[in-house]
Amino acid sequence: MTSYLLAGGGTAGHVNPLLAVADGLRERNADDTVVVLGTAEGLESRLVPARGYELLIVDKVPFPRRPNRQAAAFPMRFRRAIAQVRAHIRRHRVDVVVGFGGYASAPAYVAARREGVPFVVHEANAKPGLANVLGARRAAAVGVAFEGTPLRGSETVGMPLRQEVITLDRSATRAEAAEYFGLDADRPVLLAFGGSLGAQRLNEALADSWRDVLAAGWQLLHVTGERSDLTDPGAEGYAMHRYVDRMDLAFALADLIVSRSGSATVSEISALGIPALYVPYSVGNGEQRLNAASAVAAGAAELLDDATFDGDAVRRIVVPILGDRDRLERMAAAAETAGTRNGTENVIRLIDRALDAV
């Protein structure tokens, strides 16, 4: 039997690939032990136990960004977090640690090294986080979701994805998806979404231009997000939802997607071979633009500027694409080779390799 400690959390971008790998390990050998390391404050505190895994807690210790009282206390707090992880490793007789970024990963990497346990790093974003940058220097193996991610010794393995995405047969599910959303399976569909909370820029642009999308002969499936205050116009061919818990069906119906370019979003769309127009979120450190770069380079997607994305941009840029069948066919053909559904298996191969090297 092998004992695995998977570390990560804070956001869905860290937790979801972690859980995909955990499920893959458990499915491969139910006798193995899989435990998860996270903080009490992160999203993992809810999602991990709900998925049936034991969550081991480590203190949340952010890296200091400026000299202040918190920075002065960092060394002592970080040492305590390392000690907590070392105790977990000993108690559960951990054979290998796998980190996915986030607050839990940094102390996990240091603790694993001090306990003589190999560790593996997976980075979901094209612009890596500090914990993984540091961890990659001593890792037994480093996997990245996107080509060109600047991590020492890394290899591109893709993103571990949700099972419903991995197994989705878009053609076979299209009729079911059309019935689910009240749309016509025989007419093309533009899917627009901005995450669970929505993207105000995208919502405002489509609120101003949905008639133009329908006039182009397309239908619109618009997931506005839970914070949206848009009113559904109730127009035929326009399905508006604040939240969709069956995104697999939305993907099955989509002939073109307009969305943000978070790492999971890009990975899922690329894995399914759907052409996309990405509007990277302009706030942050620019990782969303970088996440989309490989799909854009392959010809499967195009980038639109967040600052200028409005109803006029939809009419000027998006609507002409809807009417250009040759362009859409080229994008769709490129999208077939832009992603992978094997991210989970690829990460597990890295883990096995790290164990074999011990």
Specify the pLDDT at position 71.
74
Reported as a single tens digit per residue, the pLDDT across 111-147 is 999 999 999 999 999 999 999 999 999 999 999 999 9
pLDDT more than 70, % of the chain: 98
Whether residue 272 has pLDDT greater than 60: yes
* Distant-in-sequence contacts of 155-158, Cβ < 8 A, 24+ apart: 155/350, 157/122, 157/343, 157/346, 157/347, 157/349, 157/350, 158/267, 158/271, 158/339, 158/340, 158/341, 158/342, 158/343, 158/346
State mean pLDDT over 270-288.
89
Tokens of 296: 């854009």
Q: What is the percent of the chain where pLDDT is above 90?
A: 85
Q: What would the mean pLDDT of 322-339 be, rounded to a whole number?
A: 94
For 3-161+341-356, CATH number? Answer: 3.40.50.2000
Q: How confident is the model at residue 14 (pLDDT cuts 50, 70, 90)?
A: confident
pTM score of the predicted model: 0.91
What tens digit of pLDDT does each residue of 32-48 get?
999 999 999 988 999 99
Tell me the mean pLDDT in the region 224-252: 93
Total Cβ atoms within 10 A of residue 347: 27
CATH T-level topology, domain 164-335: Rossmann fold (3.40.50)
Within the chain, which residue ranges are assigned CATH 3.40.50.2000? Answer: 3-161+341-356, 164-335
Radius of gyration of the chain (CA): 21
